[in-house]
Amino acid sequence: MTLRRRAVVWSGVAGVALVGCVVTALMLAGLPGAASAGADDDEPRDDDRSTSTVDRGTLTGTTTKPGTLSRLDGPTIGGAAQGTITWLPQVGDVLAPRNELYRVDDRPVTAFEGALPQWRAFESGMSPGPDVQQVEQNLHDWGYFTRTPDQTFDARTTAAIRAWQKAGGQLRTGTIELDALQFVSGSFVVGGLSAAVGDASGGGPLYTTKRTEKVVTVDLPVGSPLATIGDVVSMELPSGTTAPGHVTAVGAAKVDDDTAKTAVPTTLSFDDPAAPGDLTDASVTVDFVSEVREDVLSVPVLALGAAVGGGFVLEVVQPDGTTEAVPVETGLFAGDRVEVTGDVAEGLEVVVPA
């Protein structure tokens, strides 16, 4: 997957903070190549010094955030049909369009795919509308409607409904009564039941559902550049395995009741939906790709030394074994490496304090 370059202001701030920590640690341990009055850069060093090389390649900056693995809420199935509930699915059942959602007076209420709710019966003579097209699209997908779905209920629609009713053992009326279906989206898992067989149905919810797909939710600060749909992430599961994914939804800002902080709930999807396995309701660690730098020189962060007057140096090993402090400028910090520019080249050996 191609990673997009994005200049992000906060990454520079984070880099400065990291540099400060590194330099403080190095000053306590003894700075490599720190230029000072009377310093002799030509003095040979111990052969057992730790070194690394200046490498050229791609650096990927990441920002790590905690997240929660779970299923998203699915549709709430309501008992709009009037009568006595004669059948309900069980908790854990997976339902999808074309499945029965429940039965009232032994009449099925069927799931149809669609964004609009049902507000009228589907029958000959009804006015055209997008809800008609939703019904025809479902019947087309199920093999009963052979023409291109449109918004007009005509003889072809009646024939398709009759064919579907015959296949399901229903009365072949050619019409669909009000509340004989519920438009839903995608598949979902039955959650908590709030009704039982024998109860009266008439408008209240019957059961809640969860989506079959598992996602990770991360709360990000308002205005965070990480909350961008399509951006790449890497998610570490409790098993220690990592799985790639991307940002698929950004919610409205909300206030956390415990911390009083405002955050933006951000939804991440797995590139491989099977990656989480049987895990649900688990804590995960998410690495957001914040910036990508291609074809740059980099060294270990610990190779940086502080120069007199500010800035940074690398202690570069010379051909005769001596070292020379070479000033450099830092760029992107990515993990334990940092981008550098200056009088350095790929393959140079630099000292890394133990």
Q: Is the pLDDT of residue 287 over 50?
A: yes
Structure tokens at 354: 């133990």
Shared domain for 68 and 217, answered yes or no, is yes
**Model pLDDT, residue 352:** 95
CB 250 within 8 A of CB 229: yes
| pLDDT tens column, 86-110 | 999 999 999 999 999 999 999 999 9
Determine, yes or no, domain membership for 3.
Answer: no
* pTM (two decimals): 0.61
Shared domain for 16 and 114, answered yes or no, is no
Please, what is the Cα angle at 247 between 246 and 251, to 5 degrees? Answer: 165
Helix, strand and coil in the chain, % to nearest 5: 15, 40, 45
Structure tokens at 255: 């206030």
Banded model confidence at residue 28, pLDDT cuts 50, 70, 90: very low
Q: Report the mean per-residue pLDDT for the chain.
A: 86
**Model pLDDT, residue 258:** 79
Residue finishing a domain among 210, 233, 262:
210
Structure tokens at 194: 């709030």
| DSSP state, residue 229 | T
Banded model confidence at residue 203, pLDDT cuts 50, 70, 90: confident
Q: What is the CATH number of the domain that holds 197?
A: 1.10.101.10
Q: What is the CATH number of the domain that holds 325?
A: 2.40.420.20
Q: Is the pLDDT of residue 201 over 50?
A: yes
Determine, yes or no, domain membership for 140.
Answer: yes
**Cα–Cα distances in angstroms (integers) from residue 1 to residues 214, 231, 232, in the given order:** 21, 11, 9
**Cα–Cα distances in angstroms (integers) from residue 294 to residues 57, 298, 341, in the given order:** 6, 11, 13
Shared domain for 117 and 204, answered yes or no, is yes
Shared domain for 97 and 189, answered yes or no, is yes
Shared domain for 226 and 240, answered yes or no, is yes
Dihedral of the CA atoms 287, 293, 296, 299 (nearest 10)?
A: -20
Domain count, the chain: 3
Please, what is the Cα angle at 301 between 300 and 304, to 5 degrees? Answer: 105
Q: What is the CATH number of the domain that holds 222?
A: 2.40.30.170
Residue finishing a domain among 194, 210, 226:
210
Determine, yes or no, domain membership for 1.
Answer: no
Shared domain for 103 and 194, answered yes or no, is yes
Shared domain for 176 and 230, answered yes or no, is no
Banded model confidence at residue 6, pLDDT cuts 50, 70, 90: very low
Shared domain for 186 and 247, answered yes or no, is no
Shared domain for 90 and 182, answered yes or no, is yes
Q: Residue 259: helix, strand or coil by DSSP?
A: coil
Residue finishing a domain among 269, 292, 315:
292
Shared domain for 164 and 81, answered yes or no, is yes
Determine, yes or no, domain membership for 2.
Answer: no
| pLDDT tens column, 229-259 | 999 999 999 999 999 999 999 999 999 887 7
Shared domain for 167 and 278, answered yes or no, is no
Determine, yes or no, domain membership for 25.
Answer: yes
- The number of angstroms, rounded, from the C-alpha of 305 to the middle of its chain's C-alpha atoms is 38
Determine, yes or no, domain membership for 246.
Answer: yes
Question: Which helix or strand (DSSP H or E) is residue 24 part of?
Answer: helix 9-29
**Model pLDDT, residue 8:** 30
Domain that holds residue 149: 73-210
**Ordered alpha helix ranges (H), the chain:** 9-29, 130-141, 155-167
Give 297 or 1, the one with higher predicted confidence: 297
What average pLDDT does the segment 278-307 reach? 92
